[in-house]
Amino acid sequence: MPKSKDTQGTALRVSRFERETSWLSFNQRVLQEAMDPAVPLLERLKFLAIFSSNLDEFFRVRVASLRSLMNLPESELRNLEFDPIVLLKRIHTIVKEHQRQFGVIYKEHILPELHQHNIAIIDHRQLTRSQIRYTKMYFNKSVKHLLQVVPLKDSSTAPFLVNDALYHVVKVRRRQRKVAAPNNLIVTPKGPHERFLVNIPSETLPRFFQLPEEPGGRHSVMFLDDVVRLCLPEIFSQHHILGCYSIKTTRDAELYIEDEYEGDLVEKIKRGLEKRDTGVSTRFLYDYHMPRSLVQSLRSVFSLKKEDLIVGGVYHNFFDFFGFPDFGKSELKNPEWEQIEHPLLHKTTDIFAEIDKQDHLLHVPYHSFKPVINLLQAAAQDKHVTSVRLTLYRAAADSAVIKYLIEAARNGKDVTAFVELKARFDEEANLYWATLLEEEGVNVLYSMPGIKVHSKALVVTRDDGETKSYYAYLGTGNFNEKTAKLYSDTGLFTTDDRLTKEVRRFFDVLGGKKLKKPFKHIVTGSPDMRNIFMELIDREIEFAKSGEKGSITLKMNSLEDSKIIAKLHEAAQAGVKLKIIVRGICCYVPSGKLKKNVRIISIVDRYLEHSRIFVFNNGGDKRYFLSSADWMKRNLSRRIELAFPVYDEAMKLELKTFLDIQWHDNVKARIVDKHQVNEYKLRSTEEPVQSQREIWKWLKQKADDESNAASA
């Protein structure tokens, strides 16, 4: 258990959750949303999809990283702060329980409620004769030619199981001709069992096959898996089918060792990984109906380890529920919250002039992301703009951001884009964008060796011949129009020279220049960011010890860094009041007497909470920061992040209101404590406050008031 020391040298015991179990606790909060009857039915299906998708990535990255430690020598394993074998067993125990809960939610709640709304998910055994004919027509026209049927004999000829792909393992016996026995009886000799692998082409076809609407408006849907099951006799016309069982494997994502560990440990793990095959399995899910003998046989064929084997259901890849048909039943989905047009930045014909007047905050997805796109468009088309600089971590598929960067370059602007090629699971897309931008004349800066650039910054230079002006947009989320409709992020438009001057220097550093003097206003990556925030916490400790108010309000995705946690613990010991809103991983465990000084909640709702906001009371002269960084070791040690102060008093008040609404959530907020049971914060005597709904209403009213004032 990690320890820190207070100013008197007394050892402070800091209770901490393991990062992995804390993350699983977060995913259980996602599962709670699927269970909540107040959430519209089809949205609950989506939360099942999110849970499934999250868990797949967890096994691909975190479990794979833990498994990679097993390649270390015994002497190195003993030096770790934890036993990876024990932790992996704990993970599997928790996951097994979550999967049990998932099954109960799906079978006992979701399916019956869908049926009440005339939607039935059926299997091949429930089809009528006419439905069988319709399904077989679809199979022969659209499915059959996409199937690959491969015999499973031994490990030397075993096919490669694609990550997250779906398969059936089919057990058959070849049909034999009837022969006459000596006693004149006609018998059919039994041939040996054979096993075949059949793919489910869900990467090409919809996972859900819709049958024709029935009388009374009933809609029947069938998994593509069952379309294949129904038609197995056509595939194996010369065989008796003895059994059909679904499987799937999740493979090590491989690319992210540096993202999980650091220093000599990375090199030692890599040396061990050189001895293994590419993309080893970290989870082999198999149908619980599968006979034990067949499980053991597949383990041998696919060279699996015992710990790879995990019992699953008849169906896998529930993340495909993202594509479940809604049949036009809008009442089963969340009511639309229209994106609010920023009252001052949306209607203006001169966005530069509007930002010149004052700073502006953008809260997506409540606000439309259009002002960011409009700023880029204006930068591309304004004859006085001379340069555009932007960091690109993840971009949308049909990206207007990319479009206007290219247009700016074509119009003779000096355009620089820093493209992070190590953005997890977006490496290929980012390489494509980087190549395209470079071909169009954009100066592309690529990833730095051994470190990720995770900052979110845009700066535009405009020179009208009399004045050179700089306009920045700094945010907590990516320049991505798609995620800006799903993720709750905050960004700042500013011309404040304290910020724009340093952001320009920041881009010079990304371009390879040495930082000659430290930044005074913005905060960048290791080691500055951790040290500066720890100094700010120390300052609150000093205030508290001198009898003044010490308080800190934090909002982030993850709180995991041990040094920061130890410092927060020291602050709580000194009497600093900590209010923490953390969506996902939270390794800090407030316990005992400190519970009165440390309160932690987590909000899971229709939007993904993604903004990072840090507030320090600072003796009453509050300091507000927005940041791209969570307080995780990887963010504070192995990434170039960007945090920036908010100086404008009106913007500070806006952030205070935002955080106050979130803190008073008693509908979607869960209490984070040592029990990890995700108890809701709801108190029956209070007026219900669903913070995301209330934030939308507040921003909508604010926009209406400002719009009315402008037109008065």
**Half-sphere exposure in the Cβ direction for 690 (13 Å, CA):** 10
Got the DSSP string for 152-221?
A: ---TTSPPPPPTT-EEEEEEEEE----EE-TTS-EE-PPPPEEEEEEEE-TTTS-SEEEPPPBTTTBEEE
User: 């993840």: which residue's tokens?
Assistant: 394
E strands in 365-455: 385-392, 414-419, 443-446, 452-453
Q: Which element (helix H / strand E) includes 681?
A: none
3-state secondary structure of 97: helix
User: Which residues have CB under 8 Å from 215's CB, separation 6+?
Assistant: none
DSSP 3-state of 479: coil
> Residue for token digits 């959750």?
17
Alpha-carbon gap, residue 98 to 104, rounded angstroms: 10
675 as an active site residue: the answer is: no
Q: How far is CA 474 from the centre of its chain?
A: 21
Crossing angle of helices 41-58 and 19-35, rounded to 10° = 160
Radius of gyration in angstroms for the set of CA atoms belonging to the chain, rounded to a whole number = 29
How far from the centroid of its chain's Cα atoms is residue 454's Cα?
15
Cis ω for the linkage preceding 365 (within 30 of 0): yes
**Block residue for tokens 């400190």:** 594
Question: Beta strands 219-223 and 119-122: pairing type?
Answer: parallel
The CA distances from residue 577 to 43, 134, 277, 574, 647, in Å, are: 36, 65, 51, 9, 23
Query: Using CA of residue 46, residue 48, residue 51, residue 56, what is the dihedral sign?
Result: negative
Cα Dmax for the chain:
112
H runs (alpha helix) in 525-561? 528-545
Q: Of 124, 316, 360, 454, which is the active-site residue?
A: 454
Here the tokens at position 56 are: 């797949």
DSSP string, 277-319: -TT-EEEEEEETTS-HHHHHHHHHHTT--GGGEEEE-S---GG
What are φ and ψ of residue 626, in 5° steps? -110, 150
DSSP 595: G
Q: Which amino acid is at 662?
A: Q
In the numeric block, which tokens belong to residue 702?
Answer: 């604010």
| 575 neighbors 597 (Cβ within 8 angstroms) | yes
User: In terms of DSSP bridges, do strands 608-609 and 487-494 run parallel, antiparallel, or are they unpaired?
Assistant: parallel
- Yes or no: say if 60 and 252 are a contact pair by the CB < 8 Å rule: yes
705 burial (CB, 10 Å; 0-12 / 13-18 / 19+) is exposed
| C-alpha to C-alpha distance for 118 and 128, rounded to whole angstroms | 17
Compute CA 402 distance to the chain's CA centroid, rounded to the nearest angstrom: 23
Give CA angle at 545 (661, 10), nearest 5°: 110
Task: Establish whether the linkage from the previous residue to 449 is cis, with ω within 30° of 0.
Answer: no
Q: Say if strands 239-251 and 186-187 run parallel, antiparallel, or are unpaired.
A: unpaired
Residues in Cβ contact with 173 at an 8 Å cutoff, skipping those fewer than 6 apart: 190, 191, 192, 193, 194, 239, 240, 242
Give catalytic residue positions: 454
